[in-house]
Amino acid sequence: MEPDKSRPLLSPFSDEILGQRIKEVLLSSHTCPHEMIVHITSRNGKLIRPRLVYLSASFAESDPDRVRDMAVAVELIHMASLVHDDVIDGASTRRGQDSINGLWGNQAAVLLGDYLFAQAFHLINTYTLPAVMEIATETIKTMCMGEISQMNMACQLQIKQEDYLQKIHGKTACLFAAACKIGAITAALSPAQVKMLEKYGLCLGYAYQIIDDLLDYLADPLLWNKVVGSDWQEGNVTLPLIALMQDKKYQQWLSDLFSTRQLSPLQWQQLIAALYSTGAVKYCLNTAEEYLQAAIRQLEHLPAVPALQQLQSLADYLLNDYYHKLCKTERQFAKDMVYYADQSSLQA
């Protein structure tokens, strides 16, 4: 479709402006936990979710301040969920930095998470947007149920892919979808356009989490700034293990190995080798690619404004950067992995 040149569109998304506004919102109260807020806002996140709000609102004339603040509200919800996740997981660090609970304890971390949620609600309520408030509260409820589901499915190697997808819907995909929907509603787009953008976000979220779960096994910590093996240690069964369990040769071996979750370096290499040699890695990559292609298809009937290309580029970034880097990693290490896969009995 041709762009509608009669409508002024939003200025380009700015990480700096959004980050500054987040600090303003969180530090607006005299009784706020200043030191903790300074610490948590010093992290350099990708800001994917607020970017989705902003880009989804960019298909029509919009109030820049309102869009910015809805993007901030979504990021505050995301930040709150991470703070609470670290408490649940007992994580002392997050992406190389001390976590809130690691520095100030679980009680302070829970309260900070609650404060972040409260500030997000306050920001939404400032603009009297009941539809956005409903989306936000429903999404948080879904995220909570996703965490409960993950706890209930912990250490269960026999879970099905459908169970896993339901789990990551609550963990990641629902907030991606909500970010797009909130942006679209804030800009008063048509119901059809809102639905297309919401589906785009949902598919993008699924792909993002599948790739992230695969990186938990394959990432080079120095290259990806990610600690590997946390899902394995926590008993969180993700798509790589679900795919591996489809190979009968490895079912008992994996079950025995998973029962301890304390692996020697050789056993870890054997596990990675099994993921490669059985095609589990390729299956995860192909599944992520299918979701990314589905996300891009949702954009086909939207107006050809600059935001359209940026949404396509965001999906392409996951596809070309993460996906193809992982494919390259597979090619680089496949020969080495064969050595470990062939090690005699593969006993845990």
Residue 155, pLDDT above cutoff 80: yes
The maximal CA–CA distance of the chain, rounded, in angstroms, is 70
Alpha-helix runs per DSSP H in the chain: 15-26, 34-40, 48-57, 64-89, 100-104, 106-126, 130-152, 161-168, 174-186, 191-218, 221-224, 230-234, 239-244, 248-260, 265-277, 280-297, 306-317, 324-341
pLDDT, greater one: 307 or 227? 307
Radius of gyration of the chain from Cα atoms?
21
Residue 343, pLDDT above cutoff 50: no
Residue 51 pLDDT: 94
Residue 341, pLDDT above cutoff 60: no
> pLDDT digit string (tens) for 142-153?
999 988 988 889
Residue 78 pLDDT: 96
Q: Which amino acid is at 344?
A: S
- Rounded to an integer, the average pLDDT of 101-125 is 93
Fold of 15-341: Farnesyl Diphosphate Synthase (1.10.600)
Report pTM: 0.89
Question: Smallest Cα–Cα separation from 169: which of 182, 178, 160?
Answer: 178
Residue 336, pLDDT above cutoff 70: no
Residue 110 pLDDT: 94
- pLDDT band of residue 2 (cuts 50, 70, 90) is very low
Question: Smallest Cα–Cα separation from 54: which of 306, 321, 318?
Answer: 306
- Domain limits, the chain: 15-341
What is the residue-averaged pLDDT of the chain?
86
Residue 226 pLDDT: 63
- Rounded to an integer, the average pLDDT of 201-213 is 95
Could you tell me the end-to-end alpha-carbon distance of the chain, in angstroms, rounded to an integer?
57
Q: Do 124 and 132 contact (CB within 8 A), yes or no?
A: yes
Beta bridge partners of 94: 97
> pLDDT digit string (tens) for 208-245?
999 999 989 987 654 555 668 889 998 999 999 999 99
Residue 72 pLDDT: 96
* Cβ burial 81-116 (10 Å sphere, 16+ → b, else e): bbbbbbbebebeebeeeebbbbebeeebbbebbebb
Residue 8, pLDDT above cutoff 50: no
Q: Which range has the worst mean pLDDT, 5-9, 295-299, 315-319, 334-338?
A: 5-9
- Rounded to an integer, the average pLDDT of 136-160 is 92
Beta bridge partners of 97: 94
| Portion of the chain with pLDDT greater than 70, in percent | 86
> What tokens were used for 245?
């369990």
> What tokens were used for 88?
């649940």
- Rounded to an integer, the average pLDDT of 127-134 is 94
Residue 328 pLDDT: 55
- Rounded to an integer, the average pLDDT of 7-32 is 79
